[in-house]
Every structure is written in structure tokens, then in C-alpha cells.
Amino acid sequence: MFRLDGKVAIVTGGARGIGAETARVFRDAGATVVTWDVADGADALVDVTDVVAAAKAAAAVAKEHGRIDVLVNNAGILRDAQLLKSKGDEITGMMSEADFDAVISVNLRGVFACTQAVAPTMIRQHSGRILNASSVVGLYGNFGQTNYVATKAAVIGMTKVWARELGPKGITVNAVAPGFIDTDMTRALGEEQRSALLAQIPMGRLGSAADIAATVLFLSSDPAGYITGETLHVNGGMYMP
């Protein structure tokens, strides 16, 4: 139903997981897809935190394909730790500055760098779709994820700003906030932890990469052309803002 025939899309973090599934779904919908990642399997090795590298990569896509219609800012990393870990009154650990900076760099600076790199082409076309990956934890917080939650909350704010700035140019900007998705990380949970997690989800199951990819496809398609500045929650009812 939702087609991207003739469209050119960039998916960051597209070598695996949700990014790889999004690229597959886009191709099935008729799009030409270029995946950016620092991992093997991507169409182009691009460090999304490098503003110059992102600009060069975007220029290369525009030159080869003549246009860029969709940008999916999916690349992200985790470096979980408590702000401070204590036993009694004694501090026994903390989130390192390096781990805080690494997550901010990829998950937030990377979204900024890639959007700034791609937007000029979309402005010249007077059309485009930008999709930013947020998370349910960016809305309600999550223990041990100061850095990750900060980026996912900030992405929602940037999405609203860019929707206002780029809307007059015919460009929509939206965010997708997944709940807990069936990944290697959630599969590694113990039975008790998994049961406790599922008990919080009215639909009684974890989400899948396909659930998220389908949502991104919809927001990238022509029928979603009047939706902008929104965060679409895909969490099985776990969190209802």
C-alpha cells in the first residue's frame, strides 16, 4: 500500500537490526536505498559523528542518483551505567565521561550531522522526508541510561524544531519512538526479567524490527505528507503519552 517507487533513501546504521530491516522494506517498496554504517555490510562506511564525512557522503548520493527523498536517522549506540552507583553511603561506580560523550556523539550529534548534510538537497527539490529514531525511554526515563535517554529526548525536540524550519520547503520531519524490541539484548534477559518486561506491555509481546520498519515506511510515503513534527509511538501500549 505504501510505495516509494523512484525515491532515493539513506538509512544510517543500516548494516544490521532495525536499520537493515528498514532498508529491506524500503527496497521492497520500490526505493533505491543507500545504507551508511561503520560496520561491515553497509553500502558506504560513514561515521555519522563526522560532519565533513556526512556532507561528502550525502553529496555522493545526490550526484549518483540525482536526488535524496528520505533520510532515516537510525544509527545509535548504548553505553549504559548509573550516574552514581553506591553501596550504603559509599560511591562504588559511575557513568564515565567517555561513555556519556560517545552516546551523545553518535545518537545526537550524528542525527544533526546527517540531517544538515542531506537537507540542502531536499531544499533544492522542495520535498523530502526525515525520520529520526527516538525511544520510549526518551519519554519516561530508564534506570542506568542517563546518556541514552538524554539523546532520545533531545531527538524529539530537534524533530519539532526542524519540522518548523523545513516545513516551508516541503520537507516533513518526524520521529519514531520504539518500545522494547526483540533483539539480542532483550533475548539475553533472564526469564524473570523478560516476564516482568512483558507484564508492562498490554499487547503481551516485544516489538519486532519489522514493526518499526513498517512505521518508518508509512511516514516516508506520500499518504503521510501532511504529518510533521510528530513522534509516533510504537510500543504495544507500554507507554501512552
Give the model confidence (pLDDT) of 194-235 as tens digits: 899 999 999 999 999 999 999 999 999 999 999 999 999 999
Instruction: Delimit the domains of the chain by residue range.
Output: 8-229
Domain 8-229 belongs in CATH node 3.40.50.720:
yes
Which residues is 232 bridged to in the sheet? Answer: 176
**What share of residues in the chain are helix, strand, coil (percent, to 5)?**
45, 20, 35
> 201 and 237 in contact (C-beta within 8 Å)?
yes
> 12 and 74 in contact (C-beta within 8 Å)?
yes
What is the band of 186 on the pLDDT scale with cuts at 50, 70, 90? confident
pTM: 0.95
Summarised one tens digit per residue, pLDDT across range 59-93 is 999 999 999 999 999 999 999 999 999 999 999 99
Instruction: Give the span between the Cα atoms of 52 and 130, in whole angstroms.
Output: 20
Neighbours of 58 (CB within 10 A): 25
180-187 average pLDDT score: 82
226 is catalytic: no
Q: What are the DSSP E strand ranges found in the chain? A: 8-12, 32-37, 44-45, 70-73, 84-87, 90-94, 128-133, 171-178, 231-234
Q: Which helix (H) or strand (E) holds 216?
A: helix 209-220
Q: How far is CA 55 from CA 46, 112, 196, 215, in A?
A: 10, 11, 44, 27
Strands 90-94 and 84-87: antiparallel
Where does residue 171 rank: exposed (0-12), middle (13-18), buried (19+ CB within 10 A)? buried
